[in-house]
Amino acid sequence: MIKAFYKADTVKEILTLITLHDSKAGFLAGGTDINRLHSQSKYETVIDINTACLQEIKKTDLGLEIGACVTFERALEDSSIPAYLRKALRYAGSRTLRNMATIGGNVALQRSDSYLLPVLIAAKARLKTIDLSENGELIEDSVPIREYVEHKDMFQHTLIARICLDKPERFAASERFCKSIQAPPSIVVGFGADYSEQKKILHNVRIVIGTAPYGIYRLLKVEEAVNQGAIQTAAELEKAVSDETKAISDYTGSDKYKKYLAGTASANFFTECLAASGR
């Protein structure tokens, strides 16, 4: 139960407060998860970060930077947001939710049915993060989003300041399979790749799966096989993805059905990606 609420005016204040209260404190951004009925967040203290945290979307030399406290709806209103992210933002079907939910909060939560993580990992997004050193100085860092997810525990008190999309040429896409927009998904699939003109193959491929109870994970063996040219067709990819996907049967579908969805979605993205590269 939340017993204390702080409103911080600066990033330093946010991080000082979070350090003081240790694991029982959380950052309050949109509050859609923290204040949700049956939320897994068991914070006793919350620190409202909206005044101090970045709310702007700006173009940079490399691409785009999105402030962590930008809400889904605000991002959808901005024409510079790439199509793959717009699609993922719309997975949150309720406009009321989109008006409150922030992009930084979504990344930090790392739910297995995450709206945005699969496509952000596929797109090789980076996070601008801020920590507080032992002598009270702010430490800024640029962290690949896959590292943030792989080492979740290391970033418990780290503030996400911005989400950086600095690979505008890269293909990225995701699909969320559910019975209705408000229903929990069976599986979420993200796919990203670059095309090598020299080698005539897709490379730097990322295939990201989100499904309970396994969370968000990558199919590293399959990625490697595509990168090495061992997988060259959509049909080969479909089989490999289906074989490697971990899934369980539950009320959202059988394990076989989820594996099938992951395979066909990846095969479709593979074809789309080649078409987009003009092959």
Contact 127, 160 (CB under 8 A): yes
Rounded to the nearest 5 degrees, what angle is found at the Cα of 160, between the Cα atoms of 34 and 103? 60
31 touches ligand FAD by CB under 6 A: yes
Interface residue with ligand FAD among 8, 84, 113, 227 (CB under 6 A) is 113
**Residues pairing with 188 in the sheet:** 176, 210
Identified binder of ligand FAD from the candidate list 8, 15, 30, 89, rule CB under 6 A: 30
Among 109, 222, 226, 262, which residue sits at the site for ligand FAD (rule: CB under 6 A)?
109
Site string for ligand FAD, 115-134 (x = CB under 6 A): x-------------------
Q: What are phi and psi of 277, to 5 degrees?
A: -85, 0
In angstroms, the CA 236 to CA 184 distance is 29
**Which position among 16, 41, 50, 277 is part of the footprint of ligand FAD (CB under 6 A)?**
41
186 binds ligand FAD (CB under 6 A): no
Nearest to ligand FAD of 160, 222 (CB atom) = 160
One of 26, 63, 190, 253 touching ligand FAD (CB under 6 A): 26
Nearest residue to ligand FAD by CB is: 105
- Pick 115 or 171: Cβ nearer ligand FAD: 115
Give the ranges where 51-116 is alpha helix by DSSP (H): 72-76, 83-89, 95-100, 103-109
Residue 23 or 196 with smaller CB distance to ligand FAD: 23
Phi, psi of 104 (to 5 degrees): -60, -40
Residue 26 CA neighbour count, 13 Å, CB half? 21
Q: How far is the CB of 228 from ligand FAD (least distance, A)?
A: 33
34 binds ligand FAD per the rule CB under 6 A:
yes
Name the phi and psi angles at 27, rounded to 5.
Answer: -85, 130
Cis amide linkage into residue 213, ω under 30° from 0: yes
Give the whole-angstrom CA distance, residue 186 versus residue 244. Answer: 16
Residues in touch with ligand FAD (CB under 6 A): 26-34, 36, 41, 49, 53, 68, 97, 100-102, 104-106, 108-109, 111, 113-115, 159-160
